[in-house]
Amino acid sequence: MQGKKKALGRGLSAILESPETDITSRDISGEYVVGAIAHVPVNQIEPNPFQPRTHFEESELAELTISIQEQGIIQPITIRKLGYDKYQVIAGERRLKAAKMAGLTEIPAFIRIANDEQMLELALVENIQRQELNPLEIAISFQRLLEECQLNQEELSQKVGKDRSTVANYIRLLKLPTEIQIAIRNNKISMGHARALITINDTKTQLIILHRILEKKLSVRQVEEIVRNLTLANPGKKRNENPILPVKFEKIKETLNKKLNTEVDLKLNLHGNGAIIITFKSDEDFDRIVLKLDS
């Protein structure tokens, strides 16, 4: 086990550049030459099953496809050999996709040796270094490295070059409700928004604030202020039983204010129960409001 972790801990550049991982490629005589670049048929290359990136922007693929059509593949991809005429991408899956879209039948590639654990690590680190993963994809990949490669958070932080607290913050994203995770994945909210929401212990309140972020385009600072006001993260304080109102309730409140020409307040607690409070200044004002409600 100790030896396996040491090999895994070499990281992306060490594994990709080590002669130990080279399978070699053929020269013009058909002989294999260490360190050379092979031109491998694209139909013999499978996607990386450990690829942490789950979404490829169509516009970016289209731009890369045009570039490849005009200038070819500038940077070879890296693959591993699975069997006779069968390979698997280690790094460069986006280039492979674009090459296929460009109509290429072959692609330049380095052929390396990598086991499943190294494949996961290589795909993760390569994408992080290229900043191509969204926060949720990074969180899922970190969790897989912890579980499948039997690492602890300290070892993981050293491997990916991030503080342990940063690693922990990413992994905590996986505890958020599914709707919030989808918003992160689709870049609807940022890591900063998500970190603020994580501090709230109540799922319903988290979702109410998420909807407000999306509808009002709230900044991270505004969300942090809302969370501070709720004081839900502090167990020593009484929970705020009146979380921020969803937009539809705010609109109803404004409508009633105008229709009744008086101050109307809406209260909503964490369990979904609420109350409408209508203010009146005198008996005459009360009768006026009642008539308005009947009309």
**Would you say how long the chain is, in residues?**
295
CA-to-CA separations, 166 to 100, 169, 195, in angstroms, rounded? 37, 5, 11
CA-to-CA separations, 158 to 125, 151, 166, 182, in angstroms, rounded? 12, 11, 11, 28
Residue 187, sorted as left (phi over 0), alpha (psi -120 to 50) or beta, turns out to be left
Residue 274 φ/ψ, nearest 5 degrees: -155, -175
Helix (H) or strand (E) holding 97: helix 93-101
Q: Clarify whether 93 is annotated catalytic.
A: yes
Tokens of 62: 């289209």
Q: Give the number of other CB atoms < 10 A from CB of residue 175.
A: 10
Q: Looking up tokens 């705020």, which residue turns up?
A: 240
Tokens of 188: 């609807």
Question: What's the farthest any 2 CA atoms get from each other in the chain?
Answer: 104
Residue type, 187: N
Catalytic residue selected from 57, 93, 250, 254? 93
Tokens of 275: 């109350």
Tokens of 186: 């689709």
| Residues carrying an active site annotation | 93
